[in-house]
Amino acid sequence: MSINCIRTLIEDAVQGHSDKSAIVYNEKSITYGELFTKVNQVAFYLNELDLPKDSRIGLYSTKGIEQVIAVLAILSTDYILVPLTTLLKSEQVEYIINDCDIKCIITDKLQLENIEEIDFNGHIISYETADKGIASFEEIFKYYNKPYVCDINGHSNAVITYSFGVSGTPKGIVISHRNLIDSARVVSQYLVLKHEDVISGVLIFNLDYGLNQIFCTLYKKATLALHRFILPEDFFNHIINDKVTVLPLMPVNISQMFDEDLQRIPSAELFSNVKTITSSGGNVTAKMIKDCKNTFQKADFYSMHGLTEAFRSTYLDPSQVQIRPDSIGKAIPDVELYVINEDGKECGVREVGELIHRGGYIYRGFWNAPEQNAERFKSVQILKDVINLEGQLTDELVVATGDYVYKDEEGYLYFVSRQDDMIKTRGFRVSPYEIESVVAKNIPQIEKCAVFGLDNELIEEEIVMVYSALNEITENEILFELKKHLASYMIPKRVIYKKSLPLVQSDKNKINKEALKNGLLSGS
């Protein structure tokens, strides 16, 4: 058995910790011993399906202990896990099934109807007994009691994750067992996780940040407390009742927590157990940090920046969070980060360039997507003018992230924009994020704001700003404020008011700019 696979973590955790709570969810809990037994039972059944090695197994269900069992069971076989969030529409699920040729889907009763709409021809396994023709975990736990033995290669593919953006078709990113182990190790190290920690499992398990909560729990033999975020009150109760010490969040979760009347938030004394908060998957605002600091007064706040092509690149040390809240921090352990310009030279202080990720945590690549792989995964030769490449070694891969960033005088990194978001106007490259940030900081009446470019043959692209607010604000008032903070070429040519802005279906914290563009182009 490889030491670099999740299966090793499961086997290590059950040795000497069999009676410890591994997972809690509402009133239910399961020990490491019970978890190990159930994982083995499901893995044994999956092996009996006799699918080809590396077959893809979809996991399409709501959160629960059975979902974690399914994750670990698939990773205890020669198959590959493909998480499918229940936020996806039937056609999106069907796209993923076809794209990576899923042979089996593990699901629950609630999602069975959606699968029937897809006309899926592979194996289906349900948590609950639902139909005589469909196997269930209930039956597997009852009848499959034979010993289970496996030998997983750490270099084998383990997971394919998909994320749906605002346009185009999504591509799955392939993650190895070694990647999963490395990410658990490094996070446990820089967050100083402990055996006695209770880690909140509020994040969904369709992407690596959410899955990492499971693997960090196993790595430290801690406890994972699952929760489905629906109402802030319930979430606060989860933190208090489950005695959560580590709270991994996304910015949207922080916004949801403090969206309510602050008078209704429980006393800070009730959250004294929380020692660590992490945030990734979006930009953290100074207000978010302040709200967390006021409520979780003993907690260190870690702001982190990850990639699609690698687990994580940076984190901002808690000591710096209030000093430079806009920074994405510095490289995590075992990673080297470089900012280079279009000529391949290293950028100077506060000069914007592309972030290049070298070192650990780089994933295997995009599934069946040679063009995307060629665009993002580059030879280390891309850094030939920045680092010493003695010996003509050319087989090392680095990630050209497509993230435009800059460094300050102390080496802290700041995110500016995605490569494909940049607006070219009047000979300049303009970051929509920079304009949106100025709006957020200086025009509080505006609730949401989206900035993007539309083709204009005279100036390449014209800058368009669409915003929502309780009441419309005059265009002159908005432009007057923006001119105080932005260069003249960054001022929007068009400012449009809408009562509400369309959101991305799979990420309700992200504005669907593609829908706004299409609406303007069609005149609606």
3 state SS for 445-466: CEEEEEEEEEEECCCEEEEEEE
Whether 318 and 294 have beta carbons less than 8 Å apart is answered as no
The C-alpha atoms of residue 213 and residue 202 are separated, in whole angstroms, by 9
> Residue 133's pLDDT band (boundaries 50, 70, 90)?
confident
In Å, what is the CA distance from 97 to each residue of 12, 76, 93, 104, 378?
33, 21, 6, 9, 29
The C-alpha atoms of residue 156 and residue 486 are separated, in whole angstroms, by 49
Asked whether residue 260 carries a pLDDT value surpassing 70, the answer given is: no
- Distance, C-alpha 71 to centroid of its chain: 17
Q: How many CA atoms lie within 13 A of 298 on its CB side?
A: 12
Instruction: Tell me what pLDDT residue 252 has.
Output: 79
> Residue 428's pLDDT band (boundaries 50, 70, 90)?
low
Q: What is the DSSP letter of 297?
A: T
Instruction: Decide: residue 88, CB within 10 A, 0-12 exposed, 13-18 middle, 19+ buried.
Output: buried
The C-alpha atoms of residue 37 and residue 76 are separated, in whole angstroms, by 12
- Torsion sign, CA atoms 220, 223, 226, 227: negative
Grouping H, G, I as helix, E, B as strand and the rest as coil, residue 15 is coil
The C-alpha atoms of residue 205 and residue 247 are separated, in whole angstroms, by 15
Asked whether residue 339 carries a pLDDT value surpassing 60, the answer given is: yes
In Å, what is the CA distance from 405 to each residue of 311, 349, 415, 416, 518?
18, 11, 4, 5, 28
Grouping H, G, I as helix, E, B as strand and the rest as coil, residue 217 is helix
Mean pLDDT taken over the chain = 91
Say what percent of the chain tops pLDDT 90. Answer: 69
Q: Which pTM was predicted?
A: 0.83
> Residue 460's pLDDT band (boundaries 50, 70, 90)?
confident
Biggest alpha carbon distance in the chain?
A: 74
User: How many CB atoms sit inside 10 A of residue 301's CB?
Assistant: 23
Instruction: Tell me what pLDDT residue 392 has.
Output: 65
Q: Class of the 6-228 domain? A: alpha beta
Domain ranges of the chain: 6-228, 322-418, 422-522
> Residue 92's pLDDT band (boundaries 50, 70, 90)?
confident
The C-alpha atoms of residue 164 and residue 398 are separated, in whole angstroms, by 24
Whether 282 and 289 have beta carbons less than 8 Å apart is answered as no
Whether 247 and 296 have beta carbons less than 8 Å apart is answered as yes
> Residue 167's pLDDT band (boundaries 50, 70, 90)?
very low
Asked whether residue 418 carries a pLDDT value surpassing 80, the answer given is: no
Q: What tokens were used for 79?
A: 């198959």
Find the mean pLDDT for residues 183-201. Answer: 97
Whether 337 and 378 have beta carbons less than 8 Å apart is answered as no
Asked whether residue 23 carries a pLDDT value surpassing 60, the answer given is: yes
Say what percent of the chain tops pLDDT 70. Answer: 96
Bridge pairing between strands 314-316 and 327-331: antiparallel
Find the mean pLDDT for residues 243-269. Answer: 85
Q: What is the DSSP letter of 332?
A: P
Asked whether residue 166 carries a pLDDT value surpassing 60, the answer given is: no
- Distance, C-alpha 406 to centroid of its chain: 22
As a three-state string, the secondary structure of 261-279 is CHHHCCCHHHHCCCCEEEE
Does 3.30.300.30 match the CATH number of domain 422-522?
yes
CATH number at 322-418: 2.30.38.10
> Residue 240's pLDDT band (boundaries 50, 70, 90)?
very high
Instruction: Specify the DSSP element, H or E, that contains 13.
Output: helix 6-14
Nearest to 117 by CA among 140, 137, 97: 97
